[in-house]
Protein backbone atom coordinates (compact mmCIF):
# COMPACT_ATOMS: atom_id res chain seq x y z
CA UNK A 1 0.00 0.00 0.00
CA UNK A 2 2.94 2.36 0.36
CA UNK A 3 3.72 2.61 -3.38
CA UNK A 4 0.45 4.35 -4.33
CA UNK A 5 0.87 6.79 -1.44
CA UNK A 6 4.45 7.62 -2.42
CA UNK A 7 3.41 7.97 -6.08
CA UNK A 8 0.67 10.40 -5.06
CA UNK A 9 3.05 12.46 -2.94
CA UNK A 10 5.58 12.79 -5.75
CA UNK A 11 2.80 13.60 -8.24
CA UNK A 12 1.67 16.44 -5.96
CA UNK A 13 5.29 17.64 -5.65
CA UNK A 14 5.59 17.66 -9.44
CA UNK A 15 2.30 19.58 -9.57
CA UNK A 16 3.79 22.26 -7.32
CA UNK A 17 6.74 22.64 -9.68
CA UNK A 18 4.65 22.64 -12.85
CA UNK A 19 2.24 25.25 -11.40
CA UNK A 20 5.12 27.76 -11.23
CA UNK A 21 6.56 26.90 -14.64
CA UNK A 22 9.33 24.55 -13.45
CA UNK A 23 10.09 21.11 -14.85
CA UNK A 24 9.04 17.90 -13.06
CA UNK A 25 11.51 16.25 -10.71
CA UNK A 26 12.46 13.48 -13.15
CA UNK A 27 14.45 10.51 -11.85
CA UNK A 28 13.75 10.53 -8.11
CA UNK A 29 16.57 8.44 -6.61
CA UNK A 30 19.16 11.26 -6.42
CA UNK A 31 16.54 13.66 -5.04
CA UNK A 32 15.41 11.19 -2.37
CA UNK A 33 18.88 10.31 -1.13
CA UNK A 34 20.09 13.93 -1.19
CA UNK A 35 17.06 14.93 0.92
CA UNK A 36 16.77 11.96 3.27
CA UNK A 37 16.23 14.38 6.19
CA UNK A 38 12.79 15.16 4.66
CA UNK A 39 11.69 11.59 5.40
CA UNK A 40 10.64 10.18 8.77
CA UNK A 41 13.10 7.38 9.51
CA UNK A 42 11.40 4.11 10.47
CA UNK A 43 13.61 2.47 13.10
CA UNK A 44 11.46 -0.36 14.41
CA UNK A 45 9.85 -3.31 12.67
CA UNK A 46 10.61 -5.85 9.97
CA UNK A 47 9.13 -7.03 6.71
CA UNK A 48 9.11 -10.78 7.34
CA UNK A 49 5.91 -12.42 6.20
CA UNK A 50 5.79 -15.52 8.44
CA UNK A 51 7.45 -16.66 11.64
CA UNK A 52 9.77 -18.74 9.44
CA UNK A 53 10.83 -15.97 7.05
CA UNK A 54 12.73 -13.24 8.86
CA UNK A 55 12.93 -10.57 6.16
CA UNK A 56 14.77 -7.33 6.93
CA UNK A 57 14.78 -5.31 10.14
CA UNK A 58 14.15 -1.59 10.16
CA UNK A 59 17.21 0.22 11.54
CA UNK A 60 18.36 3.82 11.85
CA UNK A 61 19.07 5.29 8.42
CA UNK A 62 18.47 3.46 5.16
CA UNK A 63 17.40 -0.17 5.36
CA UNK A 64 15.91 -2.63 2.87
CA UNK A 65 12.62 -2.83 4.78
CA UNK A 66 11.73 0.88 4.81
CA UNK A 67 14.23 2.64 2.55
CA UNK A 68 14.90 6.17 3.81
CA UNK A 69 11.53 6.23 5.58
CA UNK A 70 8.16 7.89 5.21
CA UNK A 71 7.95 11.06 3.10
CA UNK A 72 7.16 14.30 4.94
CA UNK A 73 5.12 16.18 2.33
CA UNK A 74 5.48 19.65 3.89
CA UNK A 75 9.26 19.37 4.12
CA UNK A 76 9.55 17.96 0.62
CA UNK A 77 7.28 20.69 -0.78
CA UNK A 78 9.58 23.39 0.61
CA UNK A 79 12.57 21.67 -0.94
CA UNK A 80 11.01 21.28 -4.41
CA UNK A 81 9.85 24.91 -4.36
CA UNK A 82 13.43 26.03 -3.76
CA UNK A 83 14.98 23.94 -6.57
CA UNK A 84 15.72 25.65 -9.89
pLDDT, mean of residues 52-57: 85
C-beta separation of 79 from 35 below 8 A = yes
Supply the pLDDT for residue 24.
Answer: 97
High-pLDDT (> 70) share of the chain, %:
99
Tell me which residue of 73, 2, 4, 80 sits closest to 39, measured CA to CA.
73
pLDDT, tens digit, for every residue of 10-46? 999 999 999 999 999 999 999 999 999 999 999 988 8
Supply the pLDDT for residue 65.
Answer: 85
Supply the pLDDT for residue 1.
Answer: 52
Amino acid sequence: ASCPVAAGIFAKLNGIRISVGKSPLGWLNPFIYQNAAAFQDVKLGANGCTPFVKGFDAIEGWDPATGVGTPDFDRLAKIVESLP
